[in-house]
């Protein structure tokens, strides 16, 4: 029974359920979701018991003194991940020089994993969004849990239509499917020699932000475009390999987008400069002006690969199960520090009619 499980047993079962991703039927997935919810409730209960026990132990050893609430609040605020003290402790931990007080500072943030300082988190995401604008444009939700969303696939009845006076229209009937976003793992590991790890905090922060953003961002953006293709189905337009994209091709792709607003075009630099810039309409006028083609912003993203996407990016929801975290380990034989960045996330198009893509074959 879950109510009798220990914290270690709960965490082991959670990991086991995570490992079943994509291998279960829809009914089994629902059962696992219900079980995961009970496990999370049991974990919260056990954590609360631990906290109360620690407080009682402190009182038994004479630590139960009265603290001014304002002073206590200010003390806690010093140790949030936005504080300089937390940032100092974090980099000391990575470099293996953290004091007992600094390790305690890292433990004051209420989470199972050590969170990265906000300055590093912001730099990583700024770099990722600069390199991969698709990740800045989509609907990202940092939930920390499995997320189930309804995906709109079609309107099968009740579309707006011209009717004679007094004749009622059919009731709208939509087709929906449930999609469970349990998350996929993304990781990046770099190695620093002991000497290199002695660089200043600012230099180390910039280095990690660039290195982790480069690979994690590329992997995540590539997965997002792959999921978009899967959700949209067959390509709206197929261009023969070696042939140039035409105005008619581009128009067909835009016309294939059934729903959505504020459409954007995503493509690689090669497709942007080789296919879109320089394209003219039937009146021989260029369709690309000031970063816009056919009324849509053209966003350069290498993760789009050889395809060109036309879509409303807000119709893609990304569930972040585990925000970016960083861990380190020391190799005392090679005198190196391995620093690993990790992220768990998964997403899907909430509306399969909110986009289209052009492919080359």
Under the banding of pLDDT at 50, 70 and 90, the label for residue 275 is very high
Examine the domain organization and report whether 121 and 94 are in the same domain.
no
What does the block give as tokens for 282?
């039937």
Confidence at residue 133, expressed as pLDDT on a 0 to 100 scale: 95
Examine the domain organization and report whether 298 and 320 are in the same domain.
yes
Q: H helices within the chain, ranges in order?
A: 7-18, 26-60, 69-78, 84-95, 100-106, 118-131, 133-137, 201-232, 247-255, 269-271
Q: 129 in a domain, yes or no?
A: yes
CATH code (residue 262): 3.90.1690
Under the banding of pLDDT at 50, 70 and 90, the label for residue 230 is very high
Examine the domain organization and report whether 102 and 124 are in the same domain.
no
Examine the domain organization and report whether 73 and 150 are in the same domain.
no
> Average pLDDT of 186-199?
86
Q: 264 in a domain, yes or no?
A: yes
> Average pLDDT of 77-103?
82
Examine the domain organization and report whether 86 and 205 are in the same domain.
no
Examine the domain organization and report whether 43 and 181 are in the same domain.
no
User: Distance between CA atoms of 249 and 276, rounded to whole angstroms?
Assistant: 11
Q: Which domain holds residue 54?
A: 2-106
Q: In Å, what is the CA distance from 99 to each residue of 155, 336, 340? A: 61, 20, 22
Examine the domain organization and report whether 161 and 271 are in the same domain.
yes
Q: 111 in a domain, yes or no?
A: no
Examine the domain organization and report whether 236 and 345 are in the same domain.
yes
Examine the domain organization and report whether 181 and 61 are in the same domain.
no
Q: 347 in a domain, yes or no?
A: yes
- Given a cut of 70, is residue 225 above it in pLDDT? yes
Nearest Cα to 135, choosing from 149, 119, 124, 150? 124
User: Distance between CA atoms of 65 and 159, rounded to whole angstroms?
Assistant: 68
| Greatest pairwise CA separation for the chain in angstroms | 86
CB within 8 A of 177, min separation 6: which ones?
Answer: 150, 151, 153
Examine the domain organization and report whether 179 and 301 are in the same domain.
yes
Structural domain count, the chain: 2
Percentage with pLDDT > 90 across the chain: 37
Cα dihedral sign, 220-226-230-233:
positive
Containing H/E element for 263? Answer: none
Confidence at residue 73, expressed as pLDDT on a 0 to 100 scale: 40
Which domain-ending residue is among 83, 106, 129?
Answer: 106
User: Distance between CA atoms of 341 and 324, rounded to whole angstroms?
Assistant: 7
Which domain-ending residue is among 58, 80, 106?
Answer: 106
User: Distance between CA atoms of 229 and 235, rounded to whole angstroms?
Assistant: 8
Convert the pLDDT of each residue in 342-358 to its tens digit.
Answer: 889 999 999 989 999 99
Under the banding of pLDDT at 50, 70 and 90, the label for residue 112 is very low
> Average pLDDT of 5-12?
82
pTM of the complete model beyond 0.85: no
Confidence at residue 184, expressed as pLDDT on a 0 to 100 scale: 87
Q: 262 in a domain, yes or no?
A: yes
């Amino acid at each position: 029974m879950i109510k009798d499980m220990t914290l270690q047993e709960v965490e082991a079962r959670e990991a086991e359920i995570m490992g079943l991703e994509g291998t279960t039927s829809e009914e089994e997935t629902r059962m696992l979701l219900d079980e995961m919810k009970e496990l999370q409730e049991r974990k919260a209960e056990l954590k609360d018991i631990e906290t109360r026990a620690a407080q009682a132990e402190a009182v038994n050893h004479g630590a139960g003194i009265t603290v001014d609430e304002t002073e206590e609040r200010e003390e806690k605020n010093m140790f949030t991940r936005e504080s300089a003290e937390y940032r100092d402790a974090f980099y000391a931990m990575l470099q293996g020089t953290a004091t007992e007080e600094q390790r305690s500072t890292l433990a004051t943030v209420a989470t199972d994993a050590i969170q990265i300082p906000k300055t590093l988190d912001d730099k990583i995401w700024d770099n990722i969004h600069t390199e991969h604008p698709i990740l800045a444009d989509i609907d990202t939700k940092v939930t920390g849990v499995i997320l189930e969303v309804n995906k709109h696939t079609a309107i099968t009845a009740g579309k707006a239509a011209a009717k004679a006076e007094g004749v009622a229209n059919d009731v709208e009937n939509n087709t929906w499917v449930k999609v469970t976003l349990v998350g996929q793992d993304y990781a990046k590991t770099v190695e620093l020699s002991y000497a290199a790890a002695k660089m200043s905090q600012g230099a180390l922060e910039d280095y990690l932000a660039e290195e982790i953003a480069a690979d994690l961002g590329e992997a995540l953006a590539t997965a997002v475009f792959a999921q978009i293709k899967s959700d949209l189905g067959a390509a709206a337009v197929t261009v023969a390999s070696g042939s140039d994209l035409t105005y008619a091709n581009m128009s067909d792709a835009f016309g294939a987008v059934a729903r959505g607003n504020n459409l954007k075009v995503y493509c690689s630099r090669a497709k942007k400069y080789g296919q879109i810039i320089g394209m003219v309409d039937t009146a021989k006028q260029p369709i690309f002006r000031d970063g816009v083609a056919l009324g849509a912003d053209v966003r350069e993203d290498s993760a789009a690969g050889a395809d060109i996407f036309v879509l409303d990016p807000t119709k893609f929801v990304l569930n972040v199960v585990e925000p970016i975290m960083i861990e380190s380990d020391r190799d005392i034989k090679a005198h190196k520090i391995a620093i690993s960045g990790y992220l768990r996330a998964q997403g899907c198009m909430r509306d399969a009619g909110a986009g289209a893509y052009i492919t080359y074959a």
